[in-house]
């Protein structure tokens, strides 16, 4: 048996006053009797009758003294050592501080507090020569405290940690572990991973024993897994909210949309175990041109409240800029007609050289570009792109030849770009024969392969038409303007310029360019002055917690930015019994983190039991 | 409340105090005396002497034996009855109290004695002063007796032996002594009684206890304070301790009875919860103190 806090044994000093008090004896209730000599004789007889009876009078004192001794042992940190090697240890504590650690399912305490307690236990079990390193991770990993045996510094580092509204990427933390272990050849290295196992990424293997201390008990959690706003010209903005049920049991929650103290709308959603549902709201346009903050929340409670609400900022709709890039004008892609199909769009016909210049300077934000028969060499920095009779750069698609009179055999009637369009009587004279379309979604299919596709390029998805409308009767059909209008709506629906986002992910820096220093009022009440760097860019990166951050610049009044973590992985809170590091499974540990069996709890329980016994004996004698 | 009701006194008049021995009285009375006198009850013969009353010559005996013998008759004298009350603090317990029960018992016996033309004295030693009346005769003296008994309040001496010894030494009482007490003393109550039996008295000890002294109704950790000595004994009352108490009490009672039997003292134990009329009219008669 070892004593982690030998000074705690001083509590045994309580024996002295206990015995003194016992000797002085507590005041008994006085009872007047005619004479007490018969009682005195009875008492003498009783005392003399047996040794046990003599001891019996002091049984209460013995019990109390035993209880005090047990308390003293507990205070002295009496513990049993478990399987400790001869060499000093270096323990790398890897603490998860992602949002799921805010879940309060540990008997009223949060998972993160339990993780802190476990970390403190590890610190308290340090032997001479042992050292601990503290790494905290969420979306990134950080060495909070390098190897040290200074328990005060370690405790301070542990106390300084707090959970943040960020996803958990433990792989980064494990990458920090490897070099730290390699620099510890004179030690036995052990990695202690303090997490609930709700991790977003796969963990790499490490060359050291890993102890996975699983934290968390419940999976009864629902949260907002996604929220996004789409806007169409001259129409109210549309808000889609996805509610995820992270638990195995069905649940019913009410999604409430509010603005300030006013509740605007509410929807009930019934969720099966592990399922998700998306609900839709219409958001009224902000009156007066000022941004409006909307609040979406889930009524009721679960173990994690942080994912039950999200703020959104809706800003006044602004006109979109577009470029029509073609070598020569065409009648089927007329600027005026295209503008009529998407009110609010300022479309300009330019040559490829002018377009490239506009992309490079970036002075005017461009939201949409339509390439007609000519494609750039690189993917332009434009969110919405339509390629007509040309192949998007950066995609896997390549042209293998031409095909004549491909017959349209089917089209996607549900996709927003082709909905309500009829292609059955469209005839195409000549079209590209394409290869590498496996990752693309075919919107219009023909006997010679896809004719219209939704294809991924780095950073986005673009729409491609694999033939020239001039080589078909499509421009004569109603399907053509419908397709163009649908496509522009679809491509521009999710477009938000920097600073226009309704909600940005936690951890995303707030950047205000060319406006000098600005002040950020964070949701936790802090006001932070942000100075621009040498390049004149000022950014605020401390957006680790969800909420509304208000930016005040010298030239602008307050501009709100909503920050939220919309991550279904952080909603699914079921603690995992096993983690996989590389290809090696690691079971949740069943032993104490301290490698000591701390006897505090059993000793305290035993002491309590003795006190109860003492009370029972005392009552029995009354 | 008066010690005894009129109706009860009327019933007491039917009773008589029994004395086991014939004793010499001081005045003429209704009780046979060791002295020879003028009653009608024949006692003995003695040879005729000059001056004897010729009316008492036994002529039948002279005819048979040819000797002059004078007939002797028993004399009838009164009986001295001494009532002694222990009014120490230990008597102030029970409901009714032991003291009240003892007073009523002595009053009853005193009244019976007065009605029987006996000479009654009452004495109760006290810490400050004694209460005493002496030489009461006839029922007309009953109020004085009752008054004296009523005046004997709690506060008597803790130990009876020394006052009793002194009282016996100075008064030299004869006749019957009725002592009412709880007879509880650390050194043994028999030490008190030893003083009176030496005086040649016929002693009746009325021992009055409370039911609680027989079967204590106590529990828990207590400091039992002695009412007379003021000393305390710390006890934790358990069934075993209660059993030990009963054993100690039985042992004390047995020793007391043994002493009384060896000294021809009539021990009449009773408890305060015994109905008083039953006690006087039945128990004392069965025990041979009254008839």
pLDDT for residue A233? 67
Contact A411, A444 (CB under 8 A): yes
Residue closest to A619 by CA, chosen among B237, B234, B215: B237
Q: What is the DSSP secondary-structure string of A14-27?
A: GHHHHHHHHHH-PP
- β partners of residue B279: none
Q: Which of A447-451, A563-567, A600-604, B57-61 has the highest mean pLDDT?
A: A447-451
Q: Do B223 and A53 touch (CB under 8 A)?
A: no
Interface of B with A in 192-221 (CB under 8 A): 210, 213, 218-221
Say if residue A45's pLDDT is above 80.
no
Shortest CA gap A34–chain B (Å): 4
Tell me how far apart the alpha carbons of residues A492 and A233 are, in angstroms, rounded to a whole number. 10
Say if residue A597's pLDDT is above 90.
no
Residue closest to A419 by CA, chosen among A346, A482, A368, A488: A482
A contact test, residue of B102, B185, B224 with most A CBs within 10 A: B224
The band of A394, judged by pLDDT with boundaries at 50, 70 and 90, is very high
| pLDDT tens track for A483-521 | 999 999 888 876 766 667 788 888 888 877 656 788 889
Report the residue of chain A nearest B212, measured CA to CA: A33
Q: What is the CA radius of gyration of chain A?
A: 36
pLDDT for residue A31? 86
pLDDT for residue B29? 53
Tell me how far apart the alpha carbons of residues A234 and A254 are, in angstroms, rounded to a whole number. 30
Q: Would you call B157 an interface residue with chain A, using a CB distance cutoff of 8 Å?
A: no
Shortest CA gap B241–chain A (Å): 6
| Average pLDDT of every residue of chain A | 85
Residue closest to B34 by CA, chosen among B45, B23, B42: B23
Q: Do B248 and A42 touch (CB under 8 A)?
A: yes
Q: Which residue has the higher pLDDT, A119 or B202?
A: A119
Q: Do B227 and A33 touch (CB under 8 A)?
A: yes
The band of A72, judged by pLDDT with boundaries at 50, 70 and 90, is confident
**Quick one: average pLDDT of A275-282?**
91
pLDDT for residue A57? 60
Report the residue of chain A nearest B220, measured CA to CA: A622
pLDDT for residue A410? 94
Considering only CB atoms, B240 lies closest to which of A29, A46, A622, namely A46
Shortest CA gap B195–chain A (Å): 22
Say if residue A26's pLDDT is above 80.
no
Contact A416, A409 (CB under 8 A): no
| pLDDT tens track for A85-109 | 667 888 899 999 999 999 988 777 8
Say if residue A444's pLDDT is above 90.
yes
Interface of B with A in 19-48 (CB under 8 A): none
Q: Do A29 and B235 touch (CB under 8 A)?
A: no
Considering only CB atoms, A42 lies closest to which of B210, B226, B241, namely B241
pLDDT for residue A130? 84
Q: Do A43 and B233 touch (CB under 8 A)?
A: yes
Inter-chain Cβ pairs, chain A and chain B, closer than 8 A:
94
Judging contacts by C-beta atoms under 8 Å, the chain B residues touching residue A30 are: 222-223, 225, 232
pLDDT for residue B159? 67
pLDDT for residue B185? 81
pLDDT tens, position by position, for chain B (291 residues)?
578 888 888 888 888 776 655 555 545 555 555 555 555 566 778 888 888 888 888 888 888 888 888 887 765 556 788 999 988 888 888 888 999 999 999 999 899 888 888 889 999 988 777 888 888 888 888 899 999 999 888 876 666 777 888 888 887 787 888 889 888 887 777 777 777 776 667 888 899 999 988 888 887 778 888 888 888 888 888 888 888 899 989 999 999 899 888 888 888 889 998 888 888 877 777 777 777
Q: Do A35 and B219 touch (CB under 8 A)?
A: no
Phi and psi based region of residue B255 (left: phi greater than 0; alpha: psi -120 to 50; beta: remaining)? alpha
**Quick one: average pLDDT of A189-206?**
85
Provide the 3-class DSSP secondary structure of residue A554. Answer: coil
Interface of B with A in 88-107 (CB under 8 A): 89-91, 93, 98
Q: Do B224 and A37 touch (CB under 8 A)?
A: no
Q: Which residue has the higher pLDDT, B61 or A372?
A: A372
Say if residue A288's pLDDT is above 80.
no
Q: Do B245 and A25 touch (CB under 8 A)?
A: no
Shortest CA gap A613–chain B (Å): 17
Tell me how far apart the alpha carbons of residues A503 and A509 are, in angstroms, rounded to a whole number. 12
pLDDT for residue A112? 93
- What's the gap between Cα B16 and its chain centre? 14
A contact test, residue of B98, B220, B244, B246 with most A CBs within 10 A: B244
Q: Do B240 and A32 touch (CB under 8 A)?
A: no
**Quick one: average pLDDT of A421-431?**
94
Interface of B with A in 234-253 (CB under 8 A): 234-238, 240-241, 244-245, 247-249, 252
Shortest CA gap B261–chain A (Å): 22
**Quick one: average pLDDT of A358-362?**
86
**Quick one: average pLDDT of A107-117?**
89
Say if residue A2's pLDDT is above 70.
no
**Quick one: average pLDDT of A272-298?**
86
The band of A198, judged by pLDDT with boundaries at 50, 70 and 90, is confident
Identify each DSSP E strand in A260-412 by its residue range. 262-271, 276-283, 292-298, 309-314, 320-326, 345-350, 368-372, 384-388, 398-404, 408-411
Q: Do A31 and B223 touch (CB under 8 A)?
A: yes
Q: If residue B161 lies in a helix (H) or strand (E), which one and from where to where?
A: helix B161-171
In the DSSP assignment, the letter for residue A575 is P
Using a CB cutoff of 8 Å and minimum separation of 24, what contacts does B170-173 make?
Answer: B171/B123, B172/B199, B173/B80, B173/B82, B173/B121, B173/B199, B173/B201
Say if residue A50's pLDDT is above 70.
no
Q: Which of A117-126, A417-426, B9-18 has the highest mean pLDDT?
A: A417-426
Contact A263, A257 (CB under 8 A): yes
Tell me how far apart the alpha carbons of residues A610 and A599 are, in angstroms, rounded to a whole number. 16
Q: Do B222 and A30 touch (CB under 8 A)?
A: yes
């Amino acid at each position: 048996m070892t004593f982690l806090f030998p000074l705690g044994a001083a509590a045994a000093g309580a024996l002295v006053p206990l015995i003194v008090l016992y000797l002085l004896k507590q005041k008994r209730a006085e009872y007047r009797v005619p004479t007490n000599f018969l009682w005195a004789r009875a008492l003498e007889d009783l005392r003399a009758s047996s040794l046990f009876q003599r001891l019996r009078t002091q049984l209460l004192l013995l019990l109390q003294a035993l209880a005090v001794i047990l308390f003293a042992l507990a205070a002295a940190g009496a513990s049993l050592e478990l399987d400790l090697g001869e060499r000093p240890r270096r323990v790398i504590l890897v603490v998860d501080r992602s949002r799921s650690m805010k879940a309060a399912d540990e008997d009223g305490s949060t998972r993160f507090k339990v993780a802190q307690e476990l970390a403190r236990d590890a610190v308290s079990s340090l032997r001479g020569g042992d050292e601990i390193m503290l790494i905290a991770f969420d979306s990134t990993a950080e060495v909070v405290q390098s190897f040290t045996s200074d328990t005060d510094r370690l405790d301070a580092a542990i106390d300084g940690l707090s959970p943040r509204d960020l996803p958990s990427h433990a792989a980064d933390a494990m990458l920090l572990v490897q070099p730290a272990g390699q620099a510890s050849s004179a030690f036995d290295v052990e990695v202690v991973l303090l997490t609930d196992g709700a991790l977003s990424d796969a963990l790499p293997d490490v060359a050291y024993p890993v102890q996975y201390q699983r934290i968390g008990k419940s999976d009864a959690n629902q949260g907002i897994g996604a929220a996004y706003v789409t806007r169409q010209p001259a129409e109210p903005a549309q808000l889609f909210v996805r509610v995820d049920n992270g638990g195995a049991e069905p649940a019913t929650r009410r999604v409430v949309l509010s603005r300030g103290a006013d509740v605007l709308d509410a929807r009930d959603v019934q969720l099966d175990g592990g399922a998700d549902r998306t609900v839709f709201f219409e958001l009224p346009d902000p009156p007066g041109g000022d941004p409006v903050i909307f609040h979406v929340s889930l009524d009721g409670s679960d173990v994690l409240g942080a994912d039950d609400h999200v703020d959104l900022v809706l800003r006044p709709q602004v006109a979109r800029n577009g470029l029509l890039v073609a070598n020569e004008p065409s009648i089927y892609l007329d600027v005026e007609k295209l503008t009529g199909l998407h009110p609010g769009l300022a479309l300009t016909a330019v040559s490829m050289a002018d377009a490239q210049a506009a992309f490079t300077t970036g002075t005017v934000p461009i939201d949409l570009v339509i390439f007609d028969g000519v494609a750039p060499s690189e993917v332009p920095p434009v969110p919405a792109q339509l390629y007509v009779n040309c192949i998007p750069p950066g995609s896997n698609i390549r042209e293998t030849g031409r095909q004549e009179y491909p017959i349209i055999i089917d089209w996607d009637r549900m996709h927003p770009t082709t909905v309500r369009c009829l292609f059955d009587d469209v005839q195409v004279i000549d079209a590209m024969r394409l290869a590498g379309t496996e990752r693309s979604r075919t919107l219009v299919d023909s006997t010679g392969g896809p004719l219209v596709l939704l294809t991924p390029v780095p950073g986005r998805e673009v729409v491609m038409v694999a033939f020239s409308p001039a080589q078909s009767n499509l421009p004569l059909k109603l399907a053509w303007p419908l397709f163009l209008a649908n496509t522009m709506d679809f491509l521009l629906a999710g477009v938000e310029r920097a600073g226009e986002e309704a909600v940005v992910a936690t951890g995303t820096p707030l950047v205000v360019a060319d406006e000098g220093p600005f002040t950020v009022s964070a949701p936790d009440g802090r006001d932070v002055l942000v100075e621009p760097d040498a390049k004149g860019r000022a950014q605020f990166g401390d957006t680790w917690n969800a909420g509304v951050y208000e930016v005040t610049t010298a030239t602008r009044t307050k501009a709100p930015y909503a920050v939220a973590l919309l991550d279904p992985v952080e909603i699914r809170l079921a603690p995992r019994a096993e983690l996989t590091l590389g290809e090696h499974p690691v079971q949740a540990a069943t032993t104490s983190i301290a490698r000591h069996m701390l006897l505090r709890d059993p000793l305290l329980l035993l002491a309590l039991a003795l006190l109860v016994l003492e009370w029972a004996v005392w009552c029995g004698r009354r | 409340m008066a010690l005894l009701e009129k109706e009860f006194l009327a019933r007491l008049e039917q009773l008589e105090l029994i004395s086991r021995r014939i004793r010499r009285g001081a005045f003429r009375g209704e009780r046979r005396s060791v002295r020879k006198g003028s009653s009608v009850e024949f006692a003995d013969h003695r040879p005729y002497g000059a001056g004897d009353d010729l009316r008492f010559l036994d002529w039948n005996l002279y005819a048979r034996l040819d000797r002059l013998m004078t007939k002797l008759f028993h004399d009838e004298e009164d009986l001295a009855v001494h009532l002694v009350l222990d009014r120490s603090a230990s008597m102030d317990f029970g409901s009714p109290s032991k003291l009240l029960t003892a007073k009523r018992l002595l009053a009853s016996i005193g009244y019976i004695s007065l009605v029987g033309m006996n000479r009654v004295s009452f004495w109760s030693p006290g810490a400050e002063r004694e209460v005493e009346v002496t030489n009461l005769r006839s029922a007309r003296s009953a109020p004085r007796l009752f008054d004296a008994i009523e005046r004997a309040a709690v506060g008597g001496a803790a130990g009876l032996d020394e006052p009793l010894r002194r009282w016996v030494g100075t008064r030299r009482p004869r006749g019957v002594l009725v002592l009412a007490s709880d007879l509880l003393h650390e050194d043994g109550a028999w030490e008190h009684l030893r003083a009176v039996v030496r005086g040649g008295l016929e002693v009746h000890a009325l021992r009055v206890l409370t039911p609680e002294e027989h079967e204590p109704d106590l529990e828990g950790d207590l400091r039992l304070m002695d009412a007379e000595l003021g000393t305390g004994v710390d006890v934790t009352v358990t069934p075993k301790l209660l059993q030990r108490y009963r054993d100690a009490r039985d042992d004390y009672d047995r020793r007391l009875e043994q002493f009384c039997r060896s000294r021809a003292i009539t021990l009449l134990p009773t408890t305060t919860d015994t109905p008083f009329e039953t006690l006087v009219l039945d128990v004392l008669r069965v025990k041979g103190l009254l008839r």
